[in-house]
Amino acid sequence: MARFAIAVVLDLAAVIHYSSTTPTPTAAHHHQHTRPYLLKDSPTMDSRHDLPHDAHGEVDKRLLLPVTNPPSARGPRGPPCPTHSRTEATVFILANILCSVSIVLANTRVLRVFPYPVLLTFSHQATCWLTTRFMISRGWLTLPRSVPPSREAAAVGTASVFGLFLMNASLTLNSVGVYQLTKLACLPAIVVLQTVAYGAVVPAPRVLATLAVIVLGVAAATQSEYAAKPAGCVAGALAVIATAWFQVSLQHRASFKGVKGMASVAVLSPWATLVLAGLVVMVEILPRGIAWSNAPWTWIIVSSLMAVATNYVGNSLVQKTSAVTYNVVGHAKTLLIVAAGVVVDPSAESWDAVRVSGMVMSVLGMAAYAAVK
């Protein structure tokens, strides 16, 4: 346990001092030591391999992440079985829905009496960091050789935090209707970003058609009054950009190709924790302070442990399917919530023709997406 605590402290020190201690290689040195790197599925070069050969160990030591042999030493691997891949994707989709519903219920119990969402999110990421650090120290989790360099991990981890933070800010500043439109905007933003930034193939017209049906259907099913403030619009636009960039980077960035599931949580959670620590101080501690006497510690712990599973399942779903599919699953969860509300409250307003038509339209669009995808 002492070794685990020391490792966590050293992780923190490495993260804080990395930018001031990383050597900058010269062009000649870079040319002399750069190893060839080819990745058929990615149009961009992994920036980790832009580092000089002797700097690779420094990156690994600063992150304090144990590594295994490089992928080339593991022997050839055959293509995955399509049936197995589809089954695995289905399992992660169902697990994502279950984890999301569970953590929302736990968060509701916490925020009802302890209204500090940024602090709760900090607790989530800190628990992810400590859990993965403990798993590494016990040998239960070993990161691959192709760990992303710290600058990339910091950028992607920060984007994940600001996507969530700005989305919540949009909900605070705007009406629920505008917030739902902001969430819906992430799907087309991802399609555009992955094509422009990573050269991904534009989805087939029939896939784009199903996505359009899903977006329009969910918009109709979640219709509400629309009221927005200028600051809320800015927060919403930035939230869409940050969320799309995080998910697309997780799927397409070359340095994350070999970092799957819990390994991606281990790489991103230290940076997310540090960013959230600063946000907690600026947004919640300094303006109003924390009423610790009201904290429901049991539910905070339950919620934080659920966050580990939710992050693992969410990252795995993005990497095993796509950022687009991940968002379609997210809209399916929204549709389930709306449908549950209609069943629980079968009033005339709940059975509004536009809302019901939107629900039917969304279901048909999701079924069509599953068929063509």
Q: What value does the mean pLDDT of the chain take?
A: 81
Tell me whether residue 1 is in a domain: no
**What is the tens place of the pLDDT at every residue in 205-237?**
999 999 999 999 999 988 877 888 899 999 999
- pLDDT higher than threshold 90 for residue 124: yes
Structure letter (DSSP) for residue 140: S
Q: What is the pLDDT of residue 353?
A: 82
190-203 burial string, b = 16+ CB within 10 Å, else e? bbebbeebbebeeb
Tell me whether residue 34 is in a domain: no
Measured CA to CA, the distance from residue 140 to residue 137 in angstroms comes to: 8
- pLDDT higher than threshold 60 for residue 20: no
Task: Quote the number of domains for the chain.
Answer: 1
Query: 171: which 2 tokens?
Result: 């909900």
Range(s) of the domain holding residue 124: 85-372
* Beta-carbon contacts of residue 314 (< 8 Å; ≥ 6 apart): 96, 99, 326
Tell me whether residue 144 is in a domain: yes
Tell me whether residue 231 is in a domain: yes
Q: What is the pLDDT of residue 331?
A: 93
Collapsing DSSP states into helix, strand and coil, what is residue 308?
Answer: helix
Tell me whether residue 248 is in a domain: yes
Q: What is the pLDDT of residue 144?
A: 86
**What is the tens place of the pLDDT at every residue in 153-167?**
999 999 999 999 999
Write out the DSSP string of 34-60.
PPP---TT-SS--GGGGS-HHHHHHHH
Q: Average pLDDT of 171-185?
A: 90
Q: Cα separations (Å) of 277 from 97, 161, 265, 283, 354?
A: 28, 11, 17, 10, 43
Tell me whether residue 292 is in a domain: yes
**What is the tens place of the pLDDT at every residue in 230-267?**
999 999 999 999 999 999 999 998 888 888 899 999 99
Q: What is the pLDDT of residue 73?
A: 42
- pLDDT higher than threshold 70 for residue 185: yes
Q: What is the pLDDT of residue 55?
A: 44
- Quickly state the pLDDT bin for 14 (edges 50, 70, 90): low
Q: What is the pLDDT of residue 60?
A: 41
Measured CA to CA, the distance from residue 358 to residue 270 in angstroms comes to: 40
Tell me whether residue 245 is in a domain: yes
- pLDDT higher than threshold 70 for residue 194: yes
pTM for this predicted structure: 0.74
Query: 30: which 2 tokens?
Result: 């870079």
Tell me whether residue 17 is in a domain: no
Query: 274: which 2 tokens?
Result: 């540090």
**What is the tens place of the pLDDT at every residue in 325-334?**
999 999 999 8
The dihedrals phi and psi of 143, each to the nearest 5 degrees, come to: -80, 150
- pLDDT higher than threshold 90 for residue 190: yes
Q: What is the pLDDT of residue 349?
A: 64
**What is the tens place of the pLDDT at every residue in 87-101?**
888 899 999 999 998
Measured CA to CA, the distance from residue 53 to residue 188 in angstroms comes to: 39
pLDDT higher at 1 or 68: 1
- pLDDT higher than threshold 50 for residue 28: no
Measured CA to CA, the distance from residue 92 to residue 334 in angstroms comes to: 17
CB atoms within 10 A of CB 86: 12
Measured CA to CA, the distance from residue 265 to residue 316 in angstroms comes to: 10
